[in-house]
């Protein structure tokens, strides 16, 4: 990521309070973006995450000039959209809805035709095919490509204009684990070797977790979490798991000292999920728990401090957002 002097990342794209709704065929108003705000740091791979229908595609379309926001501002490369869409479009490559290629032509031929529109030379076409790992299959016809290869050719098409920003909508949809891994490695190469900024949407956290520097979680058209991965992980609290033979005694020792100890049955037998008292100034590293237990002759078989994963944080963010929405829905009723 490109930093500024103060250490804060430089922002390449910013959505600020963007609203967008559609009229459905039944005449109903369908809100797709409901005050959507997000920032994309320069040089980062940003994972745009959210369940189906949460507004990811609409947000990306708004950035690409394919959907016009009702309200709010989007800036990219220091220019405001849609006023400067053409300036921005020249610096962006995108794979947003299945790429349209000719089945009877080879991958290379398809890409060459597209490259001509962008003034790409033959060696540049070959370079992009190599980059996406299709150099070995360049002369096979597109109709014989696997789904993973088709997606890679779609990314190649997005790269042919040599963009600084690459926008990919669900590029891993339907891919097998090997193809997902390949796509992740490609995104890392684009960031590390070409200095590209990448926005990649997905409804599956594990698909983008290993490659994203920054994660934006969207729910019901609103961003509920927008932060760097290290910052997110630091926000998550770790969990202490104690595996003991005598869970009853261990639990009573810990609760006597104000700890919460929830019995569970894990893969290694009985265990307690322990949380220190709310009054404890620092998170527990486990030594306090070990001391309390051994003082009472309870010797744990195992004591593990499990760090929160991005998945835990994702689930917590979604639950918190749902709870806030439910509260907000109840409030007007109290007033009436
Ligand atoms: N052209 C449209 N007309 C009517 N409703 C639309 C249109 N485009 C999107 N929507 C609605 O807006 C909401 C957000 O859709 P969007 O496609 O942006 O979500 P998404 O997060 O990309 O979902 P998915 O992962 O399923 O593609 C959904 O309720 C969707 O039905």
Structural domain of 121: 11-234
> How far is Cα 155 from Cα 282, in angstroms, rounded to an integer?
46
C-alpha distances (whole Å) from 39 to each of 42, 140, 216, 236, 308 are 10, 40, 8, 21, 24
> How far is Cα 260 from Cα 275, in angstroms, rounded to an integer?
5
The string of pLDDT tens digits covering residues 52-109 is 899 999 999 999 999 999 999 999 999 999 889 989 999 999 999 777 899 999 999 9
The string of pLDDT tens digits covering residues 111-164 is 999 998 888 888 999 999 998 889 898 899 999 999 889 989 999 999 999 999
> Do 229 and 246 share a domain, yes or no?
no
Q: What is the mean pLDDT of the chain?
A: 87
> Do 155 and 166 share a domain, yes or no?
yes
Does 109 reside within a domain?
yes
Predicted complex ipTM exceeds 0.85: yes
Provide the edge-to-edge strand list for the sheet that holds 222-228. Answer: 92-95, 165-169, 197-202, 45-49, 214-219, 222-228
Token look-up 């031929």 returns 109
The string of pLDDT tens digits covering residues 99-119 is 789 999 999 999 999 998 888
Does 69 reside within a domain?
yes
Once rounded to an integer, what is the mean pLDDT over residues 197-220?
90
C-alpha 88 chain-centroid distance: 23
Select the more confidently predicted residue: 21 or 1: 21
Q: How far is the CA of 39 from the centre of ligand 1 (A)?
A: 21
**20, 23, 32, 47: residue to mutate for ligand 1 pocket, most atoms within 8 A of CB:** 32
Does 329 reside within a domain?
no
Select the more confidently predicted residue: 287 or 206: 287
Does 161 reside within a domain?
yes
**53, 61, 204: residue to mutate for ligand 1 pocket, most atoms within 8 A of CB:** 53
Task: Supply the residue whose CA is at minimum distance from atom 13 of ligand 1.
Answer: 32
Token look-up 């749902």 returns 322
Q: How far is the CA of 199 from the centre of ligand 1 (A)?
A: 18
Q: What is the pLDDT of residue 256?
A: 94
Query: The domain that contains 264 carries what CATH number?
Result: 3.30.70
Q: Is 54 in the pocket of ligand 1 (CB under 6 A)?
A: yes
* Domain total in the chain: 2
Does 334 reside within a domain?
no
Does 322 reside within a domain?
no
Does 326 reside within a domain?
no
Percentage of the chain modeled with pLDDT above 70: 93
> How far is Cα 77 from Cα 234, in angstroms, rounded to an integer?
30
Q: What is the pLDDT of residue 333?
A: 54
> Do 201 and 292 share a domain, yes or no?
no
Once rounded to an integer, what is the mean pLDDT over residues 23-32?
90
Per-residue pLDDT band for 257 (boundaries 50, 70, 90) equals: very high
Residue 2 has pLDDT above 60, yes or no: no
Task: Supply the residue whose CA is at minimum distance from atom 7 of ligand 1.
Answer: 22
Residue that is last in its domain, among 234, 256, 274: 234
DSSP category for residue 276:
-
């Amino acid at each position: 990521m490109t930093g500024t002097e103060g250490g804060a990342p430089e922002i390449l794209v910013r959505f600020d309070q963007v609203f967008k709704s559609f009229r459905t065929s039944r005449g109903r108003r369908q809100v797709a973006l409901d005050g959507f705000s997000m920032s994309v740091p320069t040089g980062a791979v940003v994972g745009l995450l959210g369940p189906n229908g949460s507004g990811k595609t609409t947000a990306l379309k708004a950035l690409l000039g394919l959907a016009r926001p009702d309200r709010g501002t989007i800036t990219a490369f220091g220019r405001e959209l849609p006023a400067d869409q053409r300036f921005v479009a020249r610096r962006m490559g995108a794979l947003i809805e299945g790429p349209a290629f000719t089945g009877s032509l080879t991958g290379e031929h398809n890409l060459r035709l597209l490259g001509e529109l962008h003034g790409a030379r033959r060696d540049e076409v070959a370079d992009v095919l190599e980059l996406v790992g299709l150099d070995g299959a360049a002369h096979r016809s597109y109709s014989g490509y696997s789904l993973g290869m088709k997606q890679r050719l779609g990314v190649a098409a997005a790269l042919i204009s040599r963009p600084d920003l690459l926008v990919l909508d669900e590029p891993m949809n339907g891919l097998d684990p090997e193809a997902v891994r390949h796509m992740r490695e490609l995104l890392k190469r684009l960031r590390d070797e070409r200095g590209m900024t990448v926005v990649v949407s997905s409804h599956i956290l594990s698909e983008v977790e290993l490659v994203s520097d920054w994660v934006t979680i969207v729910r019901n058209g609103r961003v509920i979490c927008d932060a760097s991965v290290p910052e997110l992980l630091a926000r998550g609290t770790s969990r202490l798991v104690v595996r003991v033979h005598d869970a009853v005694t261990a639990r009573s020792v810990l609760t006597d000292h104000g700890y919460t100890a929830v019995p569970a049955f894990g893969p290694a037998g009985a265990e307690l999920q322990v949380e220190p008292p709310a009054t404890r100034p620092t998170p527990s590293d486990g030594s306090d728990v070990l001391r309390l237990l051994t003082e009472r002759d309870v010797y744990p078989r195992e004591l593990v401090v499990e760090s929160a994963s991005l998945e835990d944080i994702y689930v917590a963010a979604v639950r918190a957002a749902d709870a806030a929405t439910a509260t907000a829905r109840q409030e007007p009723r109290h007033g009436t």
